[in-house]
Structure 1
């Protein structure tokens, strides 16, 4: 049984969590190792059970461990604060972890990009600071884009960001304080998990089913924790690919309006859909900050996003953007505005959707005999693992065989999540051939043939 060597000058619960980190670094603990049951460790160290419980909870919040009710606490794989990044075609490992846009042939679009930068004198914008972070023309174009997604807009509530993750970060910076609880779906993006940990926020996940997040559970947990902020992904949810049902959207919007909880509606994937579901921002405009961007759907390097927020908190958000990036690139903002108005953005989305569907159909063909969730407009598939596989164990096993996958444990807000699944992103690998090879190897692992 693992017995930690505790630093006597530290509070005991913190000393235990730090000992876990140190023993992982030293090699005394390895990914997937099961830690002693809390009661057993408390007895071995002559401590109160509450001290060990607090230590394990801190270790989870630091990303050191995962835990499941009835199974125990396990050393977590990888760097808990690292957001996945594509490994590129020169990497030995085949990358299914990075949820990046589907690759397309850029040749024609590069030509248009260069022509548009010259034709619209976009580069001239580099010589100025944009007043209040964005000029009126960009605000008007943002309103046009947001309204196309079903979001009612007010000019004094529109802000520009350097992508959606910058938008979510700015919202959390403006609305939540270190140590506070922030609600999200029980499975969420690794970007949010990393952001919350770096900001000292406690994420608490809300259970989900096929209709999305359970609103009854949201109301109960919000009341129990006193949470004032929630970050939700109601459409094309990452990672489960579910949509929050219309009925639940209405109930959630009414609850947020009634309770004063501010919802950050992260809809970075909504532009991929021809007609996205009605956003929460349309149902509760004074209780929702709607966040979206061009990076997933149009161009990854077009680091421009939009927030539609209640005007009453817009200045707080603007200050948070100033702290993080001062302002998004005026040149990119101007280019995005032009492409919104002349239809280029929608045309590029169409190209990515077509390229994506080809890859999604490959995944369906190879993994279709397993429990696989997929969407025609998605960037990934969601693979539920058969027993006795755990997500993190599969990730370790696959990693040793040249496959990088995203296990459910790295997407879980709570240590008690018992979901065993993989998010297999299909856009990071430039080569379709390598993608097929990797999917086939995952199939063989699941069949016990590799």
Structure 2
């Protein structure tokens, strides 16, 4: 076998991955099929696959085949908003911030006279009691029961909370169960921490009980992570009956639940948190990032009483404590009721944006609420190719491939809120619709 031959085949596969012909999480052709296509032998293809596995470009599973690695840098999937008037950012999920600026300015001004040595110094127990009370009140408003200042802990946003919990509850090599389509930030944490991820199938009501039960029995995960409201990326909201069933399965299996409930405030009426049925096994995570501002970095974990000291130890070791200054601003917003008014305003704006999307793009299924849609592309588009062509027109969207746990997808995720002007929002959607309707052929990357 020519050593140059298998290296050349590996480079061909990399070019196809880069171009989107083999998208993240997709299954590569069997050895013999690719060998016939490239006029070589299955042994040579096998050696090329092994080389790519050593480079962490692909993963092989006995009996299932070889898959393109789906883990990526979040910067490839989600683009932070920049001061660029030419861009239409449909990538990042955040509130429509222009509507919150005046309230934030007022809250900071009211907070300034209350700065004391105690406020700006170190604090015990994951921050000051009045700041933990903010988390109790915020989560209780949107469906969580049982939160207290003793079991509510402060973090630098929900992403920090997820990382802390996975670090505390699992070890390298452990399996984490997530929805089969899930937030890439979870996948990024798992990849960095060397945790295995397995997907649980979903339907129109979220994670399915049958699939979860099978995963619990066969993969024996240490943790199950669920996004129950306006799930990222599908937009599905799990009804109360399904939440209770999921809780029962987790309780019977004696595993941990992490409930990532940062979009609960978008529900028209509060829905009971899954953790309400799992007081000894459930960790409820929420934050103010999606309703008020990601810059506040105010996140909350409601932990089982027996786990509070453990999670506090991890918070202390990682960040010591979250900024009391930011939490003082949050306390002002919550105690005055302004935080809940802002959340309701963002909910109304999201509903208006969903109606505009329905008018221009006609997505299926339609959603009345939520910050994003999970948009199926026409058959002639691959997600990566569409993302590349959209970027050329200054349209930033997220390929669905990066949300999938080892399965292909023909969707993109479209954020609806980061563009502050409704006129520009309509303009960007119209350009996206025109691009979707443009027929383009995808040529196969070079042969060997």
| TM-score of the two chains, using structure 1 as the length reference | 0.84
Aligned mates of 2:96, 2:74 — CA distance in 1: 25
SS in 2 for 1:238: coil
Q: Choose the corresponding residue for 1:437, options 427, 433, 442.
A: 427
Q: How many residues align?
A: 426
Residue 312 in 1 paired to residue 312 in 2? no
Aligned to 2:446: none
**Residues 194-233 of structure 1, C-alpha deviation per residue, up to 9 Å, x if partnerless?**
1111111122111111011111111111221121101110
Cα shift at 1:330: 0.9
2:192 and 2:258 map into 1 onto residues whose CA distance is 18
Task: Kindly indicate whether the alpha-carbon contact (under 8 Å) linking 2:374 and 2:413 is maintained by their aligned counterparts in 1.
Answer: yes
Separation in 2, partners of 1:276, 1:4: 57
Unpaired runs of 5+ residues, structure 2, are 441-448
Counterpart residue number, 1:161? 155
- Residue number in structure 1 paired with 2:330: 336
Q: Residues 66 and 409 of structure 1 are in contact (CA less than 8 Å); yes or no, is this contact kept in structure 2?
A: no
Which of the residues 382, 385, 395 maps onto 1:390?
382
* Worse-matched range after superposition: 78-87 or 194-203: 78-87
Q: Which residue of 1 aligns with 2:259?
A: 265
Change (3 A) 1:409 1:326: same
Q: Aligned residue for 2:173?
A: 179
Match of residue 241, structure 1, among 225, 235, 252: 235
Matches within 5 A, 1:46-445: 46=43, 62=56, 79=73, 82=76, 84-90=78-84, 92-106=86-100, 108-119=102-113, 121-122=114-115, 124-151=117-144, 152-368=146-362, 370-371=363-364, 373-376=366-369, 378-413=370-405, 415=406, 417-445=407-435
CA contact (8 A) 1:185 1:207 kept: yes
Cα pair 2:49 2:58 within 8 Å, conserved: no
Q: 1:251 to 1:23 in 2, by over 3 A?
A: closer
Is the 1:372–1:383 contact (alpha carbons within 8 Å) kept by the matching residues of 2?
no
Q: CA RMSD in A?
A: 3.4
Task: Give the Cα–Cα distance (whole angstroms) in 1 for the partners of residues 177 and 381 of structure 2.
Answer: 28
How many angstroms apart in 2 are the aligned matches of 1:36 and 1:281?
Answer: 39
Secondary structure of the residue that 2:18 maps to in structure 1? coil
Q: Which residue of structure 2 aligns with residue 31 of structure 1?
A: 19
* Change in 2 beyond 3 A, CA 1:447/1:441: same
Once the two structures are overlaid, the 10-residue window that deviates more, 334-343 or 225-234, is: 334-343
TM-score, with length taken from structure 2: 0.84
Q: Which string of whole-angstrom CA distances, capped at 9 and with x for unpartnered residues, describes residues 218-272 of structure 1?
A: 1111221121101110111111111223332122111111111101000011123
Question: 2: distance between equivalents of 1:107 and 1:335?
Answer: 13
The 2-side partners of 1:291 and 1:156 are apart by: 15
Relative to structure 1, is the Cα distance of residues 28 and 359 closer, same or farther in structure 2, using a 3 angstrom cutoff? closer
Displacement of 1:390? 2.7
- In structure 2, relative to structure 1, the CA distance for the partners of 1:187 and 1:354 (3 Å cut) is same
The offset of 1:420, in angstroms, is 1.4
SS at match of 2:7: coil
Contact 2:74 2:185 in 1 (8 A): no
Instruction: Using the TM superposition, give the Cα deviation of residue 52 of structure 1 relative to its aligned residue in structure 2, in angstroms.
Output: 7.4
Map of 1:44 onto structure 2 = 41
Give the gaps of 5 or more residues in structure 1: 7-15
1:144 shift after superposition: 2.5
Alpha-carbon distance change, 355 to 389 in structure 1, aligned in 2, over 3 angstroms = same
Shift in CA distance, 87/340, structure 1 to aligned 2, threshold 3 Å: closer
Alpha-carbon displacement from aligned partner over 1:295-346 (angstroms, at most 9, x marks no partner): 1012222211111111111222112222332211011122222322221211
Paired residues of 1:281 and 1:290 also in contact (CA < 8 A): yes
| Cα separation, 1, equivalents of 2:89 and 2:267 | 25
